[in-house]
Amino acid sequence: MASDALTTRTHTTAAAAGRRRLLSSRAGLTLLAVVLSLISLFPVLWMVTSSFKTRATVTDGRLIPQDFTFQNFVYVFTEVPFARYLWNSFFISTVITVAALFFHSMAAYALARLRFPGRERLFGAIFATLLVTAPVVLIPLFLVARELGLLNSYAGLIIPAIFNAFGIFLLRQFYLGLPKELEEAAVIDGCGHWRVYWNIVLPMSRPILSALAIFFFLANWNAFVWPLVATSDQDLTVVQLGISSFQTQYTSNWNYILAAATVAALPMLVLFFIFQRQIVESIKTSGLK
């Protein structure tokens, strides 16, 4: 009895001390988190505010512009076909995203739900292509695209970028987790596989499709190396290529370069702030395999 009371008392005091320690450590951790977040944010913030500075003040070392100007953005859009670059990136990213979602969801549905011989082996083979990273096959891909006459065309920018096993894999995982009852009911009602896919499975996969859509769009908007080797035509220049050549052309005109960079980054930042949850969710699923 006595020892019981004793242990209870030590427990409560330990708990109180622990709470106090927790509170102060909580304040410390919050401070740490704030500082780290600012470090993370700062370079981007610096880029955006500097793009509103004049040529003379762009390197003045101040965060807030002294004489605020829109002139850099006007210059970027009038002196360089930057609108064209943005349109090219928007166009190819959109087409790739839509096509990829359509093909991947079809393939993933077949792999998750339809029964056919060799299904697991096929999935294994598709999964194995995940290990082949893009830079490794850049050279043969270039030669294949050249043989197929895809260089310097929208098709060449779009078609090779559609196919990757990552989307198939995530969608298959998602379909494996869906309840079968609805599909079975539809089959009993006499629906074919296409109607089941189109009318039932596709609408049910809206959340994961929207998450993947943002992911694909982002990846393709930011793509640089493939457009660099696959195109040389000015009319096909995508925004990332535009920035990189702009940067070599205007070496020290930081006000223009940063304005161009801000314009290129802004759509992704906006997308990110709107669809943050979806982006984070799709990354989480990819990590948990």
The residue (of 2 and 40) whose beta carbon lies closer to another protein is 40
Whether 237 and 191 have beta carbons less than 8 Å apart is answered as no
Could you tell me the two tokens for 12? 């409560």
Least CB distance from residue 116 to another protein, whole Å? 4
The residue (of 84 and 193) whose beta carbon lies closer to another protein is 193
The residue (of 72 and 104) whose beta carbon lies closer to another protein is 104
Amino acid in position 208: I
Least CB distance from residue 287 to another protein, whole Å? 4
Amino acid in position 37: S
Least CB distance from residue 9 to another protein, whole Å? 15
The residue (of 199 and 244) whose beta carbon lies closer to another protein is 244
The residue (of 23 and 83) whose beta carbon lies closer to another protein is 23
Least CB distance from residue 196 to another protein, whole Å? 9
Instruction: Write a three-state SS string for the chain.
Output: CHHHHHHHHHHHHHHHHHHHHHHHHHHHHHHHHHHHHHHHHHHHHHHHHHCCCCCCCCCCCCCCCCCCCCHHHHHHHHHCCHHHHHHHHHHHHHHHHHHHHHHHHHHHHHHHHCCCCCHHHHHHHHHHHHHCCHHHHHHHHHHHHHHCCCCCCHHHHHHHHHCCHHHHHHHHHHHHCCCCHHHHHHHHCCCCHHHHHHHHHHHHCHHHHHHHHHHHHHHHHCCCHHHHHHCCCHHHCCHHHHHHHHHHHCCCCHHHHHHHHHHHHHHHHHHHHHHHHHHHHHHHHHHHC
Least CB distance from residue 210 to another protein, whole Å? 16
Least CB distance from residue 78 to another protein, whole Å? 20
The residue (of 177 and 287) whose beta carbon lies closer to another protein is 287
Least CB distance from residue 150 to another protein, whole Å? 10
